[in-house]
Each structure stands twice: as structure tokens, then as C-alpha cells.
DNA sequence: CGGCATCCTAACAGATACTG
DNA sequence: CAGTATCTGTTAGGATGCCG
């Protein structure tokens, strides 16, 4: 598990890594807390990662995205797109035609996030079965004894 | 950027990768949408990732976590811990002492997620400045013209 | 110390109808 | 086609107080 590769002290390294080696993996300080908070603000909502993922395959129009992302409402699609655009993760290009055509695409910044998102998807792909097993086991233990029976 | 390393078709590969090579990075299908949804269900809330991060440094007691994670309420800490435990990401060990002592720790499953979370934190660490720049620029453009002046 | 129960609110998100 | 606008419901999450 090479979890340090992304932690290069790129420019003048503001980070001070205080290691606590007692645990399974270590390397976590207060700043990470802030970083996680920030990225949750960016893509921690219900749709942002899905939109970014949908754009991984290349540019797409508004209606394409509406189709590609199951069950999203036009309202949420619009809000999510605006937000991602504000954050600089996607670009919006409107063509002055009739009927109007608008294309969305990942910026370099957005594409760089894709790798991290796919990491999450990969984890989920590999472990979701195990997660379900734990959930079921936990729920069985919790449910047992609630209706003590006759 | 080796974004394919996590996508190994480990066992009997249920995945069928339909590539669309028109975009910047490609490799995204419908299943990924589901995977992202699932992992957002797991750790897409406000505190789960922070708790997991806090446990990266090793076992911790309830009150330790309360201290380590700024601004979390006891209610949310309790709820988050229970949830993570149900998902099999953390373990809870209660020692029958007075005063009571309870230790939380990452399971193997939880530790394996840590790598993906740190990926996100690393991205945020590297790019949050740029994100802010985009946001500010966007907001300046949006604000300009709203009060047209005398 | 380590919770759980209760109340309350704000943000998130869905449905629907309308517009340029 | 690509959005806005409004109205409404659901739920995450905060504050507080009590209990084993």
C-alpha cells in the first residue's frame, strides 16, 4: 500500500508530519482533517462524483449527463454542474445555435481528481460484499432478542 | 498517474470495461456509479472519514476521538462510530473497569480504506489553493454587475 | 467515562411547472 | 435543448439533559 506517493512535499512543504507509529498505517495529522473537510465540501454531496465520473469518458451535453446519471433530477444536475464549474473542476461551453447546445468537460483539475475518485470506486468494488456481510451480521445480532417470542 | 492500479480484475472479474477513449482519462462504466453511491453511503457524511483518519494513528478511546476531531458533537461521534462498526470498518472493545474504558480501532477493512482517503486528502492538499482561486474568480464575475452603480 | 433520548433547525434533495 | 423558479418533504446534524 503506497499511500505516501501523493504526499510529496511539492513546494516548500508547509506540512510537518508528526508520526505516531503505534497504529496500522500512521501518517495523519490535523491538517488532513481540514483537507478532508474541504474535499467533502467539493464532492461530498450526492452527485458531484457521479458527474465527474460521467465526464471521464469525454465531453458530454446536459441531456447526455441527465441520461448517463440514473435518477438525477434536472434541478440537481444543474446545481451540481454550476458548483463544479465554480470550483474549476469542469468547463462549460455553450454554442450559439438553434437548438442550443452546451458541452461540459473536465478541466485538468477535475481530471486530476478522477484518479482519487476511481480509487474509492475500486475499493468499493473490491470490498462492498464484505461490507454487506458485516452489516447483515450486525443487524442480525441487533434484531435478535427484540421480539423474545412466546 | 497510475489510476488503473486499483482496478485489477482480481477474482473472476465480473467487470466488463467498455472503454470510451475520447476523453482525458476514460475507464468509467455504470458499475462505477453504483460503487461511488455505495461508498458515499459509507463515508460520504460529514464525520466518517475524519474518524477513520483519527484512528489511523492507532487505537483511541471515545474521549480521545472527541478531542482529536474538532467540533464534533458527542451525538454525532456516537452515531458515526456505531455506523462504522456496523459496516465492519472499526472495532469496539469495552473493558469492564471502573471508570469504564472503551477503545476503538480500525479493522483491516477500515485500514484498507485509509489509503483511498489519504489519496483524497493528498489531492486536497495539493490543489485546494487552485480551487479557491477558481471560486474567487467565479464569484467576482458573478458579483460584478449586480449593483450597476449610479 | 461513555454513552443514549429528545427536541429542533437548516441544508439537501425531489416534484412540478414555466422560460429563453 | 437547456435550463429557472417555487414549493415541499426528508434527513443530517447541533444543543441539551439524563443514565449506567
Residue position matching grid coordinates 500500500: A1
Q: In 10 A of CB A55, how many CB atoms?
A: 29
For residue B8, pLDDT beyond 90: no
- Smallest Cα–Cα separation from A104: which of A52, A44, A67? A52
pLDDT the model gives residue B2: 42
Residue position matching grid coordinates 469495552: B94
* Phi, psi dihedrals of residue B123, rounded to the nearest 5°: -60, -45
Q: Is the CB of B46 under 7 A from strand C?
A: no
pLDDT the model gives residue B146: 52
For residue A6, pLDDT beyond 80: no
Query: Which letter does DSSP use for residue B55 in this model?
Result: G
- Spell out which residues of chain A touch residue B134, defining contact as CB-CB under 8 Å: 86-88, 109
**What's chain B's average pLDDT?**
84
pLDDT the model gives residue B42: 96
Nearest-Å Rg of the Cα atoms of chain A is 21
Asked if residue B111 lies in contact with residue A101, where contact means CB atoms within 8 angstroms, the answer is no
More confident residue, B6 or A144: A144
- Cα A76 to chain centroid, rounded: 16
Per residue in A91-114, is it b (16+ CB within 10 Å) or e — as a string?
beeeeeeeeeeeebbbbebbbbbb
Joined grid coordinates for residue A6: 501523493
Q: Is the CB of B75 under 7 A from strand D?
A: yes
For residue A93, pLDDT beyond 60: yes
Report how far residue B113's alpha carbon sits from residue A49's, in angstroms, rounded to the nearest whole number: 17
Joined grid coordinates for residue B113: 480504506
For residue A5, pLDDT beyond 50: no
User: B121 pLDDT band (50/70/90 cuts)?
Assistant: very high
Q: What is the pLDDT of residues A22-71, one digit of tens each?
A: 444 557 888 999 999 999 999 999 999 999 999 999 999 999 999 999 99
Mean pLDDT of A97-112: 95
Q: Which residue is nearest to nucleotide D12 (CA to C1')?
A: B45
Q: Which nucleotide is nearest to B81 (CA to C1')?
A: C3
Best residue of B6, B19, B61 to probe chain A, by most A CBs closer than 10 Å = B6
Share of chain A above pLDDT 90, in %: 71
Q: In 10 A of CB B138, how many CB atoms?
A: 16
Asked if residue A39 lies in contact with residue B121, where contact means CB atoms within 8 angstroms, the answer is yes
More confident residue, A150 or B95: B95
Lowest mean pLDDT among A113-122, B87-96, B138-147: B138-147
Give, in order, the Cα–Cα distances in Å from B31 to each of A8, A32, A66, A81, A94: 32, 29, 17, 22, 30
For residue A21, pLDDT beyond 60: no
Q: Which CATH architecture has domain B25-143?
A: Orthogonal Bundle (1.10)
Asked if residue A68 lies in contact with residue A55, where contact means CB atoms within 8 angstroms, the answer is no
For residue A2, pLDDT beyond 50: no
**What residue ranges do the domains of chain A occupy?**
25-143
For residue B47, pLDDT beyond 90: yes
Strand partners, B102: B94
**What's chain A's average pLDDT?**
84
Joined grid coordinates for residue A68: 448517463
Asked if residue B91 lies in contact with residue B111, where contact means CB atoms within 8 angstroms, the answer is no
More confident residue, A106 or A25: A106
More confident residue, B121 or B15: B121
Lowest mean pLDDT among A11-25, A110-124, B34-48, B124-138: A11-25
Amino acid at each position: 500500500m503506497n499511500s505516501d506517493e501523493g504526499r510529496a512535499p511539492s513546494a516548500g512543504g508547509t506540512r510537518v508530519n508528526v508520526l505516531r507509529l503505534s497504529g496500522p498505517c500512521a501518517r495523519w495529522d490535523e491538517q488532513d482533517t481540514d483537507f478532508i473537510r474541504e474535499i467533502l465540501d467539493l464532492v461530498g454531496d450526492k452527485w458531484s462524483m457521479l458527474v465527474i465520473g460521467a465526464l471521464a469518458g469525454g465531453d458530454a451535453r446536459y441531456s447526455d449527463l441527465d441520461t448517463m446519471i440514473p435518477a438525477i433530477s434536472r434541478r440537481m444536475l444543474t446545481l451540481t454542474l454550476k458548483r463544479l464549474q465554480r470550483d474549476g473542476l469542469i468547463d462549460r461551453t455553450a454554442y450559439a445555435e438553434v437548438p442550443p447546445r452546451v458541452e461540459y468537460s473536465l478541466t485538468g483539475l477535475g481530471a486530476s481528481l478522477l484518479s482519487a475518485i476511481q480509487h474509492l470506486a475500486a475499493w468499493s468494488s473490491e470490498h462492498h460484499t464484505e461490507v454487506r456481510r458485516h452489516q447483515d451480521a450486525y443487524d442480525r445480532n441487533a434484531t435478535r432478542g427484540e421480539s423474545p417470542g412466546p
